[in-house]
Each structure stands twice: as C-alpha cells, then as structure tokens.
C-alpha cells in the first residue's frame, strides 16, 4: 500500500508541475468576413463605374451624331472667317481647320461655296512668313483632289499666286505643296494664270 501511495503521489506531482497546454487563439472570423465584404463592395463599385462610363459614352456619341451635322457648317464658316483676320495666327488656325474639313469632295465643295478657296488664295498671296505660307498651301492641297474645287482655285487666280510663292530653305513642305498643286493644274490643262487664259481666248 505504501508503494502504491508513493507512485500515485509521484504521478500527481509530475502532472501538476507540467506546463499547461496552451490553446491556440481562435481565428478571428469576423476580420476575414469584413475583408471579403470590403473586396466585394470595391468590385461592385468598379463594375457600376464602368457601366456608368459606358452609358455616358453611348449618350455622348448619340448626341454628337445628331448635333454635329448642324454644327459642321457653323464651324466651317467660322474657319473661313478666320482667314480674313489680320493676325497670321488666326489665319493659320482657319487654314488648318479647312484642311481637316477637306477630306472628301462634299467637304471641299462646301469650303468653295463658303468662299474658302478665294480666301486661301488671298492668305497665300499676303503671307509674310513660312509658317503661314505652309498652312495656306496645305489647305489648298487638301482642296486640289476635287476637279471642281481645283477649277474654283483657278478662277481665284491660284496659279500665279502659287508660282510667285517663295521657296523656303527651312521648310521643305512649301516646295512640295507648290509642286503638287501646279502638277494638278497641269493635269487638268490649267497651265496659265486666269488673266493669261482670258487674253488667249480673246485674241
């Protein structure tokens, strides 16, 4: 009995003196759930944002499609009007816009009908710097693919003005535009200035 009591005392002392087992801290499931909810909210916001952008883009496209045909003539007339301003900067802006409008024969003839061909010839004849000459020649070149527009340029005296335009050592495009325009006039047998043609007809 004494031996058994001694063993029990030893075992109880051993288990009592061992360090207690520490339980692992429980996972904070609320934190993970909060993060998941936040990511879902952000994804939903992104999707809604893209939907709103698509709706806005579609609306803007529809409005532009219906309004631009009416704004086109107004912008075209304003561009032609800029050619009559004394400031060369505004002249260059007007010529640059006209070159952008002259992408097809319909646009080219609208420019001619609004007086743009004559004003471009006047701009080129009165230009005092290479940048202004270049913009005028560029716009005239944009009109030249249309035979009717080229005829209007001929009537406006473009050939003599183009021939008298000085070449530039700093801007090679001026000579390129001049050569292209004079070549187009020659292709349609517009080989002389308007005044020369009228004299040859009357003689």
- Sequence ranges of the domains in the chain: 73-194
pLDDT of residue 65: 39
- Say what the pLDDT of residue 167 is: 87
d(CA 8, CA 12): 6
Note the pLDDT tens digit of each residue in 93-146: 999 999 999 999 999 999 999 999 999 999 999 999 999 999 999 999 999 999
Backbone angles phi, psi at 192, to 5 degrees: -130, 155
CATH class of segment(s) 73-194: mainly alpha
| Residues 6 or more apart whose Cβ sits within 8 Å of residue 109 | 146, 148, 149
Residue 21 has pLDDT above 60, yes or no: no
Tens of pLDDT, residue by residue over 28-71, are 444 445 556 667 667 766 767 666 666 755 554 444 434 444 44
**Cα pseudo-dihedral 75, 80, 84, 85, rounded to 10:** 30
CA-CA-CA-CA torsion for 61, 62, 63, 68, nearest 10 degrees?
Answer: 70
Residue 174 structure tokens: 């001026």
pTM score of the predicted model: 0.60
User: Residue 133, class by beta-carbon neighbours within 10 Å (0-12 exposed, 13-18 middle, 19+ buried)?
Assistant: buried
Please give the structure tokens belonging to residue 121: 């010839």
């Amino acid at each position: 009995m004494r031996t058994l009591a001694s063993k029990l005392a030893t075992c109880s002392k051993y288990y009592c003196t061992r360090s207690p087992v520490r339980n692992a801290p429980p996972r904070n499931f609320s934190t993970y759930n909060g993060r998941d909810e936040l990511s879902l909210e952000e994804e939903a916001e992104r999707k809604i944002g893209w939907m709103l952008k698509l709706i806005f883009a579609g609306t803007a496209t529809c409005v532009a499609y219906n309004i631009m045909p009416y704004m086109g003539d107004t912008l075209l007339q304003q561009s032609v009007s800029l050619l009559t301003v004394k400031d060369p900067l505004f002249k260059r802006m007007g010529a640059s816009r006209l070159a952008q409008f002259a992408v097809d024969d319909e646009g080219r003839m609208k420019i001619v009908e609004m007086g743009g061909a004559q004003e471009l010839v006047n701009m080129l004849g009165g230009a005092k710097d290479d940048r202004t000459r270049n913009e005028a020649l560029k716009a005239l070149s944009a009109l030249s693919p249309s035979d009717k527009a080229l005829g209007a340029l001929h009537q406006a005296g473009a050939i003599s003005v183009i021939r008298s335009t000085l070449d530039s050592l700093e801007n090679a495009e001026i000579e390129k535009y001049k050569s292209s325009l004079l070549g187009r006039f020659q292709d349609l047998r517009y080989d002389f200035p308007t005044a020369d043609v009228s004299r040859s007809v009357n003689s």
